[in-house]
Amino acid sequence: MKILVTSDIHGSSRAVQMIRGKIEKMAPDLTVVCGDITHFGTPREARETIDSLPGLVLAVPGNCDPSGVELGVAESHGVDLHGNTYEFDGIKFAGFGGAGKMFGTIREYDEEFLGENIKRIIQGADVLVLHGPPYGINDLSQSGHAGSREILEAVQAHKPMLVLSGHIHECHGIVREDGITYINPGAARDGRSAYLEIEVATREIRDGSIEMMIDS
């Protein structure tokens, strides 16, 4: 299974164009969008953004996506993964958007709320799709660690093989720890994405890389 991972589009038409180019070049089986589809935009804007990306798209909202953006995703040809699960080729994806309270943006949650919702969907998940990362992993911002301890606790307890997140533009990277691979692709607005392959039969991640996108 080939997966293109992107995040933090922030309403950038240039970013959308680059993601389209990457999809057309790499032909992934699915594309995952880890939030901040818009920059305080509308459900219509979110729908149009997802509909402009070819192929299967799974998406969660980010901390800069107002309430209702997930409805725009649901109205598109993509899959609204916020608080939901989705199975593709035997791999179970679970997702939750938004982020922990830190920057005073529009979709930030307290730790208890995050913990309750992650624990509700993570059971049996192979891939956890987030906007805000777990605490201490791909989460170091200029203001300090921005990740959630509740999410980290749930991940350590249930051990999905892959955790995808965005939110912290400056902390893109791949971390492998305790049998779990964590990926923050960086901001699509800055031209970044990630690519990986999963061997479905063995549940092994065969490849993973952070890549710059090029305008088509």
What is d(CA 4, CA 46) in angstroms, rounded to the nearest whole number? 18
User: What topology does CATH give the domain 2-212?
Assistant: Purple Acid Phosphatase; chain A, domain 2 (3.60.21)
- Give the SS3 label for residue 193: strand
Q: Residue 64 has what pLDDT?
A: 98
What pLDDT, in 10s, does the model give residues 127-142? 999 999 999 999 999 8
On average, the pLDDT of the chain sits at: 96
Q: What is the mean pLDDT of residues 170-193?
A: 96
User: Sign of the C-alpha dihedral, residues 189, 190, 191, 195?
Assistant: negative
What is d(CA 157, CA 119) in angstroms, rounded to the nearest whole number? 10
Q: What is the mean pLDDT of residues 67-96?
A: 98
Q: What is the mean pLDDT of residues 77-106?
A: 97
Residue 9 pLDDT greater than 50, yes or no: yes
Q: Residue 216 has what pLDDT?
A: 45
Q: Residue 7 has what pLDDT?
A: 98
**pLDDT grade, residue 91 (50/70/90)?**
very high
Q: What is the mean pLDDT of residues 64-83?
A: 98
Residue 215 pLDDT greater than 70, yes or no: no
Q: In this prediction, what percent of the chain has a pLDDT beyond 70?
A: 99
CA distances from 21 to 24, 25, 53, 149, 173 (A): 5, 6, 9, 36, 22
Q: What is the mean pLDDT of residues 189-214?
A: 90
Domain positions in the chain:
2-212
Residue 122 pLDDT greater than 70, yes or no: yes
What pLDDT, in 10s, does the model give residues 19-69? 999 999 999 999 999 999 999 999 999 999 999 999 999 999 999 999 999
37, 62 in Cβ contact below 8 A?
A: yes
